Chain A
Amino acid sequence: MRGNFAKITKILSAGVVAAGLLASASAKAAEDTIKVGILHSLSGTMAISETTLKDVMLMLIDEQNAKGGLLGKKLEAVVVDPASNWPLFAEKARELISKDKVAAVFGCWTSVSRKSVLPVFSELDNILFYPVQYEGEESERNVFYTGAAPNQQAIPAVDYLMSADGGSVKRWVLEGTDYVYPRTTNKILEAYLKSKGVPAEDIMVNYTPFGFSDWQTEVSAIKKFGSAGKKTAVVSTVNGDANVPFYKELGNQGIKAEDIPVMAFSVGEEELAGLDTKPLVGHLAAWNYFESVNTPENKKFIADWHKFIKNNKRTTNDPMEAHYIGFNMWVKAVQKAGTTDPDKVIDAMVGVSVPNLTGGYSTMMPNHHITKPVLIGEIQANGQFQTVSKTPGLVMGDEWSDYLPDSKDLISDWRAPLSCGNFNVKTGKCGGKGTN
């Protein structure tokens, strides 16, 4: 039974993919182009988030071509659909690299999909740009992480809640979906909170399954936990579809942001588009980018996006900015190296600096993570975020958390001569222990 099921899913998704491929093949331009792979799910559960990233990549490639392409050649997007199926991500990545001979791949959303393609990228020596905030504890030579590491999102968010402006929170609910990103992030946060003197009885950790929709018990548990006479906040790593029913239940049970604020790491403009945000005004999110950020770069980006997608209501979000930064960095590194050969581009990437959309520059660090500002925003009645706090400077992505015993001695530096993703400073050897 099970085998049949998997087979049918595979055949069907392969069919869908084949149709997509045909479409992209028919649009094939001149023979001498630089191919760029786009590896985002266009069907299945993750299509809700990833389709937008495919569109933004097409837009960026179009714009680059309008500027005259790269190294005198036109760029050509190769779009494949891994259909929210983790093993299929690896197959599709292999296909992009060996068959389509792409110069770099932009893709993946969930950590499990990234983990599934890692061996393919190191074996075939190609480049992956990963645009989503993630749990850290990883640094690969072939991957550039343009999303936030935990210290570029989670830690500053908790710091804000502990500050007087954020309400001097003393009691913490860590609510998450049950998979690797929330579990690792919450582990880091728990260690961090304890290091700040928060006693164990003031921290409640709870997990729910993917796509969870009945939040009554959890929300009333939060209410109960919050009535201990201390200022309480929820730090939410609840993922994807489960957020809408979670926020609806919060609104219905009358949990106001002034009493128990919810700080979310996976709720962006896109997720809020499916919600009536009036009961949620004041709940928070931590990102490196908000659509409401008022800079000329961002205004132009939004205008271009609306023009490209032919819909003035489509929102922009943080992973889109990550692709914007990643793509521009890649373009710059290719120009610097004078070739699209992945080996040379990887070496040229470190130190490349490009403007981000929030009015500054982001730089690729030797650990293949980038520098970013951290913004805390409050949800507004119009479905946008209003920035209430911004880190004074740029925060450098820290791949190996300092708050986990297994990784606190590890560093990553991909420049010669060290060229190691997990160098242990205590033992002086490459190949230390990571939690994953």
Chain B
Amino acid sequence: MKTFRAIGLTLLFLLTTLSSSGAAEADLRAIIAKFATAADFSETGVIVRELTATGDPAVERPLAALAEGNLYIRAADSMVFVGKEGSDSIQLFDPLSGEAAGEASADDLTQVGVNNTLRRTIRDALGTLTLGSKDPTVRIAAANTMFKTPDAANIEPLDAAIASETVASVKALLEQARAASILVSDKPDADKLVAIALIGARGDRDAVSLLTSVEANASGAVKEAATAAIASINSTLALWDAGQNIWYGISLGSVLLLAAIGLAITFGVMGVINMAHGEMVMLGAYTTFVVQQVIRASFPDLFDWSLVIALPLAFLVAALVGLAIERGIIRFLYGRPLETLLATWGVSLILQQAVRTIFGPTNQEVGNPSWMSGSFDIGQLAITWNRLWILVFALAVFAVLLYVMKRTPWGLQMRAVTANRRMAASMGIKTPWVDALTFALGSGIAGIAGVALSQIDNVSPNLGRGYIIDSFMVVVFGGVGNLWGTLVGAFSLGIVNKFLEPYAGAVLGKIVVLVLIILFIQKRPRGLFALKGRAVEA
């Protein structure tokens, strides 16, 4: 261990002395200047490798800039700069020192082209160079990169890094990266067997990927060990896969719940077949878009709050449109389901075309706030933040709605009108007023569903179309007029769908679910949780 540390320290010492010496810097500049004459990607790649071969940490800045597409050549003097795009010009910085070097218009600069292969080369190179970084997350990234791209030459720097590493979790990753590199080196088999055990313990897909390629190239004991390790990882992963399917199902269920819950009120409670329900969802999504546009233009700092701000507005917009539809059309059609269906279908077409005329037919970009981007791992389970938040949100909306229906006077009136309209009217409840507000509530809920769906689907005039059939399916399956039925219906449809998908494929899976629902409705025409009562028959 001591010798390792000594080697590491000497290496570090050497690196620092190298970078501080003037001659080395001049060498680096000479190499960087060659970017100006590179004719294609492979020539740029040669320069990148030349730069990384110097082992000088100073090359991180130009390489990182190149990977991001921020390395520019000034046409006038073929000088290479790191550029940062400003509002109407590009600010220039020295590629090595990072000092500001004036600015230039985009027309006077040529970007150094970069493609995937180059980006990968740079990422691998930066992995080795950033092993000594002070930031543990950078070291973790470096270790992961080196794990995925093992190279016998990595063993030495990794040994040095392991020796000086203080954080245990990072150290474990570095040791795995070292093990990966040992497998591709010409070290004795004994070392390789130890390495395989270490990698097998990691137990994720990257480990399988690495071991599969080792298995293909090795022979004897190493090959056997690799085969055994792959088999054991795969059997654990199969369990995780089942967990993943359940999670995907729950996540799909939460989306279905959000889309259907407003319909559970308008269709389930009021009995109105509202074909324009999907368009309420779309209006909610467009409200989010407008809110984000305003925020981007005037208050860019508030962007992470855009969804929270959009929620009440989307509710209001959709609720008002819903109110207008109820007062203007639906109230004349109560008790005539076919006419209601056709009229609301017409309304949905009008709303779609109106949005198309105002916002144009193309998709609108609704950004993801930072807290809704990316994913995190639980074991081998990757959970994306946006799906998790949508699940939480769907359950919250459900809870609030349940509270309103069961615990508030308004909810009581709503249920009274549904159960027996004439009796409720005799008791002094203004039934038309309750109808209008209930419809507005259902539409408003659809509006806030639109806010959530804008995060996973595209915001276009057709957004609602994709959800209307599924929503009706959930409500009918769960049992008309029962909020709990909608909840159970949404999640069971979601989970069944996601369990079928890997085996049957998305297309067949959907058909199978549809057939199952038809069969189920034959058996239980009122759905999972049938509402009991005299009014139901009417």
Contact = CB atoms under 8 A, between A and B. Distances in A.
Verify that A and B bind, or say they do not: yes
Contacts of A388: 41, 113, 115
23 contacts: A4-B338, A12-B346, A43-B353, A48-B460, A48-B462, A51-B361, A208-B506, A208-B507, A212-B506, A217-B248, A218-B506, A220-B248, A220-B382, A227-B206, A228-B209, A249-B384, A252-B374, A254-B374, A257-B116, A257-B119, A258-B123, A274-B459, A378-B115
Contacts of B263: none
B367 A276 contact: yes
Nearest to A383: B365
Contacts of A282: 115-116, 119
A312 interface: no
B335 interface: no
Contact of A211 (B113, B245, B252, B465): B465
B69 A380 contact: yes
Interface of B: 41-42, 69, 113, 115-117, 119-120, 123, 148, 205-206, 208-213, 216, 244-245, 248, 251-252, 255, 338, 342, 345-346, 349, 352-353, 356, 360-365, 367-368, 373-375, 382, 384-387, 456-462, 465-466, 498, 501-502, 505-507, 510
Contact of B115 (A44, A165, A251): A165
A64 interface: no
Contacts of A251: 373
A341 B352 CA distance: 40
Chain A: interface size category: 35 or more
A166 B457 contact: no
B116 A274 contact: no
Interface string A185-220: 000000000000000000000111101111011101
A48 B349 CA distance: 15
Interface of A: 4-5, 8, 12, 16, 42-45, 47-48, 51-52, 164-167, 178, 206-209, 211-214, 216-218, 220-221, 223-224, 226-230, 241, 243-245, 248-249, 251-254, 257-259, 261, 270-271, 273-276, 279, 281-282, 284, 378, 380-381, 386, 388
A220 B246 CA distance: 13
A377 to B, nearest CB: 10
A334 B507 CA distance: 46
Nearest to A283: B116
A241 B115 contact: no
A207 B69 CA distance: 34
Contacts of B252: 214, 216
A167 B375 contact: no
A261 B41 CA distance: 17
Contacts of A217: 245, 248, 498, 501-502, 506
B507 A209 contact: yes
A165 B362 contact: no
Contacts, number: 171
Nearest to A45: B462
Contacts of B506: 206-209, 212, 217-218
A175 to B, nearest CB: 10
A216 B209 contact: no
Contacts of B212: 227-229
Contact of B457 (A16, A47, A245, A281): A245
B356 A258 contact: no
Given A213-B456, A216-B498, A253-B384, A229 B115 contact: no
Contact of B461 (A47, A165, A166): A47
A243 B363 CA distance: 11
A274 B353 contact: no
A8 B456 contact: no
B248 A213 contact: no
A220 B116 contact: no
Contacts of A5: 345
A237 B13 CA distance: 53
Contacts of B345: 5, 8
A223 B209 CA distance: 11
A52 B356 CA distance: 12
Contacts of B374: 252, 254
A223 B255 contact: no
Contact of B462 (A209, A211, A271): A211
Contacts of B360: 51
Given A8-B345, A217-B248, A241-B462, A229 B209 contact: yes
Contacts of B460: 48, 241, 274
Contacts of B213: 229-230
Contacts of A224: 205
Nearest to B500: A217
A230 B374 CA distance: 25
Given A220-B382, A227-B206, A8 B365 contact: no
A381 B84 CA distance: 13
B363 A48 contact: yes
A284 B117 CA distance: 12
B375 A254 contact: yes
